[in-house]
Amino acid sequence: MKVTFKKRFSKLFTTDPRYKPRPSVMDALRSPRLLLREVLAGLVVALALIPEAISFSILAGVDPRVGLFASFVMAITTSILGGRPAMISAATGAVALVIAPVARDYGLDYFLATVILAGIFQLTLAAIGAAKLMRFIPRSVMVGFVNSLAILIFMAQIPHLIDVPPAVYVLVLVGLVIMVVMPKFTKVVPAPLVAIVAITAAVIITAVSVPTVGDQGDLPQSLPELLTPNVPLTMETFNIIAPYALAMALVGLLESLMTAKLVDEITDTHSQKTRESFAQGVGNVISGFFGGMGGCAMIGQTMINVKASGARTRISTFLAGIFLLILVVALGDIVAMIPMAALVAVMIMVSVATFNWHSIKPSTLKRMPRSETVVMLSTLAVVVWTHNLAIGVIVGVVIAMVAFARRVAHFASVTRTVGGDDEIEAALYTVEGELFFASSNDLTTLFEYSEDPENIIIDLSGSHIWDASTVAALDTIQTKYESMGKTVYIKGMNDYSQLLHQKLAGNMGSDV
């Protein structure tokens, strides 16, 4: 058992050519141009993380430093251990919503214990290979996920645009213009960073009164300290926090792995999903012990890093965590002066870049199968309505499964021919297609029981038995014929189908 675990653990950090990052950390360190891009990207992400972390802390019902420390720990941990370079992990709204009731009903110590237990659950899920389930998420669900995130990112900016001075709208517009126009001339410096600096300088020079980062909450004045949650180590405590911890673990992993898959597509590289699951678990455990609220991958900040700033390596993620700590602890007074309008402009630009506009073009919708469009829109609607990515993705996958089962069910067909001589006459039923619960439910209705002769042959050469429902259907058919004094012969089963039929036949017909 120890050897098996050791082998699995070592595989997380193997240098499989498929997962070799392009460019690598060493490539960036050797190239001043790439290194500058990674450094500036990390700075932009750190600036964008501050108001988000504060907002999510308030949403979870805890002090702002809990969210800020969590963002620092998650960014550093996943930059070193994670399986998806350039992806940003920090405190998130999805996690905050799940565990907020713990802080409200039981206090901060139980809240931190929940975060630690969620990390342990994630480590367990990583060990059993839960990340491999990502292959079962269809593209239509992925498109709905991405579009819903873009909408949520935009919706999160709306409160910052209501009941504010007119100057805020001007500043947001200026920021958007900078980020649209500047990349056409140069990409040496990330456009979002230029927008933030320019808008901040304009506000300071003109002394105009607009909401700032400092208005969102107090920034911490000291480094995070190692602590142990003061909770009794009893089954009662476990029963209290386990449901919330499991929900946090599942939501966090799902959002992280979906974001990793999106970055894979944008960068045309592969990521190690199991390694990323492991890193998320370690990050949440460490976060809990340092007084943080935990977290997972952040789609908005990841898009700032990968799309807006062009980062591709772990350097940007690592520096985002370092810059975040420096900004809030050492340069808190300066950071507090940054207008929220600058960060709102950045996030609006991110939402526009994240949305898959091709997916809603009339020409695309016309070409796509109706079921694919329904899956995409259902995923989008549920995520936007519940503000819960996990629920939306699960609903989308379930709808996709039902749609797939309905399509495949129609592929099964039965052809009847009657032949023979004067002495022996038989009905031959040729069954073709995949036989499982959806297609086999109607199988029993496709036979002419009363009109058939005494001998019936069912040819399964062109079909495959997948489950017990099909065996039960065949038992029912055979039982009906035998009750009329007729004989049924089944032939042509492949090895798997024959093995399954031999194991279950005769034990299921009475249940149908």
Q: Return the percentage of the chain with pLDDT > 90, whole number.
A: 50
Q: How far apart are CA 154 and CA 165, in angstroms?
A: 20
Q: In this predicted structure, what is the pLDDT of residue 142?
A: 84
Q: Which residue has the higher pLDDT, 479 or 351?
A: 479
Q: In this predicted structure, what is the pLDDT of residue 275?
A: 93
Q: Is the pLDDT of residue 285 over 90?
A: yes
Range from 49-58, 103-112, 401-410 that averages highest in pLDDT: 103-112
Count of other CB atoms within 10 angstroms of residue 136? 10
Q: Is the pLDDT of residue 457 over 90?
A: yes
Q: In this predicted structure, what is the pLDDT of residue 6?
A: 56
pLDDT, tens digit, 9 for 90 and up, residues 152-161: 878 888 988 9
Q: Is the pLDDT of residue 5 over 80?
A: no
Q: Which residue has the higher pLDDT, 424 or 238?
A: 238
Q: How far apart are CA 169 and CA 321, in angstroms?
A: 30
What the block records as the tokens of 337 is 């002066």
The torsion region of residue 387 among left (phi > 0), alpha (psi -120 to 50) and beta comes to left
Q: In this predicted structure, what is the pLDDT of residue 331?
A: 84
Q: With beta carbons less than 8 A apart as the criterion, state whether 208 and 169 touch.
A: no
Local confidence band at 10 (pLDDT 50, 70, 90 cut-offs): low
pLDDT, tens digit, 9 for 90 and up, residues 188-240: 777 888 888 899 999 999 999 999 888 877 778 788 889 999 999 999 999 99
Mean pLDDT of the chain: 88
Average pLDDT of 244-254?
A: 90
Residue 424 phi/psi, 5-degree rounding, is -125, 120
Global pTM value: 0.74
Q: With beta carbons less than 8 A apart as the criterion, state whether 248 and 283 touch.
A: no
Q: With beta carbons less than 8 A apart as the criterion, state whether 296 and 92 touch.
A: yes
Q: In this predicted structure, what is the pLDDT of residue 258?
A: 85
Q: How far apart are CA 118 and CA 121, in angstroms?
A: 5
Which residues, at least 6 apart from 134, have a Cβ–Cβ distance to it below 8 Å? 257, 258, 261, 273
pLDDT, tens digit, 9 for 90 and up, residues 21-47: 778 899 999 999 999 999 999 999 998
Q: Which residue has the higher pLDDT, 339 or 510?
A: 339
Average pLDDT of 418-426?
A: 79
Local confidence band at 149 (pLDDT 50, 70, 90 cut-offs): confident
Q: Which residue has the higher pLDDT, 73 or 335?
A: 73
> What long-range pairs does 170-173 form, CB within 8 A, spacing at least 24?
171/199, 171/202, 171/203, 171/210, 171/339, 171/341, 171/342, 171/345, 172/341, 172/344, 172/345, 172/348, 173/345
Average pLDDT of 315-319?
A: 96
Average pLDDT of 246-256?
A: 89
pLDDT, tens digit, 9 for 90 and up, residues 164-182: 999 999 999 999 999 999 8
Q: Identify the CA nearest to 402 among candidates 426, 378, 384, 422.
A: 378
Q: Which residue has the higher pLDDT, 272 or 19?
A: 272
Average pLDDT of 314-342?
A: 91
Q: Return the percentage of the chain with pLDDT > 70, whole number.
A: 95
Q: Which residue has the higher pLDDT, 99 or 388?
A: 99
Local confidence band at 305 (pLDDT 50, 70, 90 cut-offs): very high
pLDDT, tens digit, 9 for 90 and up, residues 125-141: 999 988 888 778 888 98
Q: How far apart are CA 401 and CA 193, in angstroms?
A: 43
Local confidence band at 512 (pLDDT 50, 70, 90 cut-offs): very low
Q: Would you say the C-alpha torsion 158, 162, 164, 166 has a positive or negative sign?
A: positive
Q: With beta carbons less than 8 A apart as the criterion, state whether 352 and 150 touch.
A: yes
AA letter at 168:
V
Q: How far apart are CA 78 and CA 389, in angstroms?
A: 21
Q: Is the pLDDT of residue 394 over 60?
A: yes
Q: How far apart are CA 146 and CA 184, in angstroms?
A: 26
Q: In this predicted structure, what is the pLDDT of residue 59?
A: 74
Q: Is the pLDDT of residue 19 over 90?
A: no
Q: Is the pLDDT of residue 20 over 90?
A: no
Q: Is the pLDDT of residue 509 over 90?
A: no
Local confidence band at 17 (pLDDT 50, 70, 90 cut-offs): low
Q: Is the pLDDT of residue 410 over 80?
A: no
Q: Identify the CA nearest to 491 among candidates 506, 501, 504.
A: 501
